[in-house]
A = this chain, B = another copy of it.
Amino acid sequence: MPPARFVAGDWGTTNLRLYLCDEGGKVLDELAGPGAASLGGRFPAVFGSLLAPWRQRHGQVPAVLCGMVGSTIGWTSVPYVACPARPEQIARACTPLEGGAVQLVPGLSCRNRFDAPDVMRGEETQILGALHLEPKLRKGGHLLCLPGTHTKWTVLDRGSVAEFLTAPTGELFALLGEHSVLLPRASPAVAATDAAFAEGLEQSERFAHAQLLHRLFECRSRRLAGELAETAAAAFLSGLLVASDVRGALRAFEGLGAEPLVQLIGAPQLTALYAAALAGRGFASHSIDGAAAALAGLTYVYQHLPTAAVAHGS
């Protein structure tokens, strides 16, 4: 077994995933832990006890952590790096904790297409990973989509993160599924192969000038009219939401990339939904697994930390 060199951690609001890695980012061991929202500030103690077995065996390997651990509800609040941001700039802006043994990756900020402030925290590391995994993304212009609770549409320009735009598509889907009178409770997970998802996409595209607000009631009225099964309402809603997100983003970023190819980064079941919506509009897509991208991004950051930081930590 190659020697363990660092710990990579994706510490989100509801989940923590830790990987013990060799110099090149190969995973030697891994474990799961509590999300940032549940910790109430006890980050040093929780992190210390989670890492104790690894540290006992492998010494004080440094850790690189991304996600909400660097937010106001996290271990410490790490300032955003403003776009356009180059990968090495992001790696260099890590906030060291515990004498450099823990490095928190900064999020990104930008002024988005609609002249509004926008921020991301965690997705920047997946983008760094995608740039590492797919070297061709370092050249020219590319449109990335990172679907999730808050979907991030991102423009890459010659390897730099130029700008991005947030859509709370996943959050809206969850809120409507859990609390709205429009959907039956206990909505099942949605797959890109669901007929009702395809129907939601198609209905949305049929009246592309309609506002999303004027289509949502169909999740209820189509069930009342016997045109939609109770169990299919969530998939229909997902189709309406993803179609609206994709249509709006393609319009917002029109003309930015030469090829109609979108890079999707995320959980495979989610990227499949976006791939279907893009295909329906004549856009090809390429999907990159979100967990693999996060790990590759954390490895990139580890490898590009100022030397002093790594030496101090190890």
Contact = CB atoms under 8 A, between A and B. Distances in A.
Interface of A: 109, 113-119, 150, 165-169, 171-172, 175-176, 178-182, 203, 206-207, 209-218, 221-222, 224-225, 227, 241, 244-245, 247-249, 251-252
B210 A252 contact: yes
B180 A175 contact: yes
Contact of A117 (B150, B207, B222): B222
A182 B217 CA distance: 22
A181 B206 CA distance: 32
A169 B119 contact: no
Contacts of A113: 207, 210, 214
B217 A150 contact: yes
A229 to B, nearest CB: 14
A181 B176 contact: no
A249 B165 CA distance: 26
A174 B225 CA distance: 26
26 contacts: A113-B210, A115-B206, A115-B207, A116-B203, A116-B215, A116-B221, A116-B222, A117-B227, A118-B217, A119-B221, A166-B217, A167-B217, A168-B217, A171-B180, A171-B181, A172-B213, A175-B175, A178-B179, A210-B251, A210-B252, A211-B212, A212-B212, A212-B213, A213-B244, A213-B248, A214-B252
Contacts of A214: 113-114, 165-167, 245, 248-249, 252
The 5 closest A-B pairs by CB, nearest first: A211-B248, A117-B225, A166-B217, A167-B213, A117-B221
Contacts of A251: 209-211
Given A117-B227, A180-B175, A247 B217 contact: no
B252 A114 contact: no
Nearest to A110: B221
Contacts of A210: 113-114, 248, 251-252
